Amino acid sequence: MNKPHIIELPRMYDPRGSLTFVEETRHVPFDIKRVYWIYDVPGGESRGAHSHKASESLIVAASGSFTVDLFDGYEHHRFALNKPFEGLYVPPGYWRVLDDFSSGSVCMVMTSTFYTEDDYERDFDRFMEWARSRKEEAI
Ligand code: TYD
């Protein structure tokens, strides 16, 4: 299984402001099928609390900051995102929780699949069963 990691994206410096872009397969290791963004998150709220069965994601703090906790069933990987030119690559199979949203932050997510609820595991106990079975298969 791929590991989550930070991908540094291109940055065009300019006295008029900075610009960053993403091209599928060049900067992210998948074809981008969908982009969504989360905003107006009230202080103290968290998002996510689910895992994806197949879809891959690139999560970008397009504005402000937040943290992403990724759990593979055994280890937590915690990432503080606060740079619009950094993307967090998330393979399928990680339980994700996003929290510590700064006021006015925007969480932009590019994913490899169209939206389907079938791709979600929202039940933590079922996620853990899946994580254990993956580990057994790997041994
Ligand atoms: P949800 O998965 O609960 O958000 P979070 O990432 O915080 O867990 O999604 C909120 C609602 O939006 C839910 O009813 C599903 C819907 N939704 C779509 O219709 N299309 C999408 O691309 C996404 C990401 C969510």
In this predicted model, what pLDDT tens digit does every residue of 43-91 receive, in sequence order?
A: 999 999 999 999 999 999 999 999 999 999 999 999 999 999 999 999 9
In this predicted model, what pLDDT tens digit does every residue of 109-128 receive, in sequence order?
A: 999 999 999 999 999 999 99
pLDDT at 1: 52
Q: Give whole-number Cα distances, 88 to 84, 115, 137, in Å.
A: 11, 19, 27
Task: Please indicate whether residue 35 or residue 136 has the higher confidence score (pLDDT).
Answer: 35
Going by pLDDT thresholds of 50, 70 and 90, the confidence category of residue 38 is very high
- pTM given for the model: 0.96
**What is the chain's length?**
139
Q: Give the residue numbers marked as catalytic.
A: 50
Helix (H, G, I), strand (E, B) or coil at 127: helix
32, 33, 36, best to mutate for ligand 1 pocket (most atoms within 8 Å of CB): 36
- What is the 15 CA–ligand 1 centroid distance (Å)? 37
39, 45, 46, 47, best to mutate for ligand 1 pocket (most atoms within 8 Å of CB): 47
